[in-house]
Amino acid sequence: MLSLAACGGGGGKGDGKGKDGGTQQAAQQSAAAVTITPKSGATGVDTSGALKVDVTQGKLTEVTVKDAKGATVDGSITGGGASWTPSAHLAAATKYTVHAVAKDSQGREAAEDSTFTTLTPKNTFLGYFTPEDGSTVGVGMPFSVNFTRGITNPQAVEKSIRITTQPAVDVEGHWFGNDRLDFRPEKYWKEGTKVTVDLDLDGVEGRDGVYGEQHKTVKFTIGRNQVSVVDAKKHTMQVTQDGKVIKTLPVTTGKPGYDTWNGQMVISEKLTVTRMNGETVGYGGEYDIKDVPHAMRLTTSGTFLHGNYWGGDAFGNYNASHGCVGLSDVRGGYDTSTPAAWMFDHSIIGDVVIVKNAHDGTVGPDNGLNGWNMSWADWTK
């Protein structure tokens, strides 16, 4: 090459030398032609279905897509190396860079680079979720998301919520209406399971022209296995941990006409003291108790497991409530030795309370976090 350069730099015309050099350069150029869609510099790009990398007369060997923060977008090369597409939607209002490399049949490389920016949505939605990040919950706790807008593209939204567990267990989602999505395994969680949720709603089109605007990682841990069984006929509650009875408490449940739901219910809220007003659950002015102690919510419709200081000798003897499960307590809840105080102190969000032998139907799976009352076959339809 030094010799050629010296000759080419001489004073002659150099016709043949120049032509030979051009032929050599053309022979080294790859026949592969890489195309990136959208074109470089594009703005307002859709977050789904718009990004694609193709090649003719060659095969893709490398495609790297990164956002402005350097986070890589996952994707896959398909068609025997003919194209690449992302595995999920892109984030909204985000600048992306694309670097693609292909080889032709002779092994010669061709590369292409591009940048583009995704759309900024005018209408957005959020997902409010439970349990909280970093929490320890009971074995019955689903991961539940309530959306601020009705979802008409449920597959895209469900795909954007990825759940991994340690140890591994199959976790499936189920929609209640178009604004709530719950995830759970077939059976109660195993004690000690660590759950990680990638809530990647940013940029997903939940309904026409309405996009998610959050991306969070949520982690929670499953605590000890506590399941309590209320027998409305015997007026007792057996509290079990790891299948062994650790405490039997006297209770009162719903009186005739106000019977307690049967079925599996999950504690979704704990309140040291709360007001219970019959007006809020359709019972008119039958009661208004401003200081109910040690209350734990079991249904959205108003079923609680709570302390009761006005029930007299009902506990363990007869049913006297308006549908709740009552435990003996004192006004103000100051006595830590009462059954209600003990139960409150030994319970966490996500613990399971099962009611049986009540004169009512089974609680609806969407009435609270109570999807366990649905068969796995129905849950996964």
Give the residue numbers annotated as catalytic, written as ranges: 306, 324
CA separation (Å) from 101 to 30, 58, 73, 106, 117? 11, 10, 16, 14, 21
Calculate Rg over the CA atoms of the chain.
32
Contact 171, 185 (CB under 8 A): yes
Q: Which two tokens stand for residue 356?
A: 């049986």
Strands laid side by side in the 325-328 sheet: 263-266, 352-356, 226-231, 236-241, 244-252, 325-328, 304-308, 288-297, 269-277
The Cα 381–Cα 378 span in angstroms is 5
Contact 33, 110 (CB under 8 A): yes
Contact 139, 183 (CB under 8 A): no
- Residue 23, C-beta contacts closer than 8 angstroms, at least 6 positions apart: none
Q: Which two tokens stand for residue 221?
A: 């841990």
The Cα 201–Cα 198 span in angstroms is 9
The Cα 107–Cα 102 span in angstroms is 9
- Cβ atoms < 10 Å from Cβ of 288: 11
The Cα 145–Cα 328 span in angstroms is 35
- Residue 265, C-beta contacts closer than 8 angstroms, at least 6 positions apart: 298, 299, 303, 352, 353, 354, 355, 363, 368, 370
The Cα 103–Cα 79 span in angstroms is 15
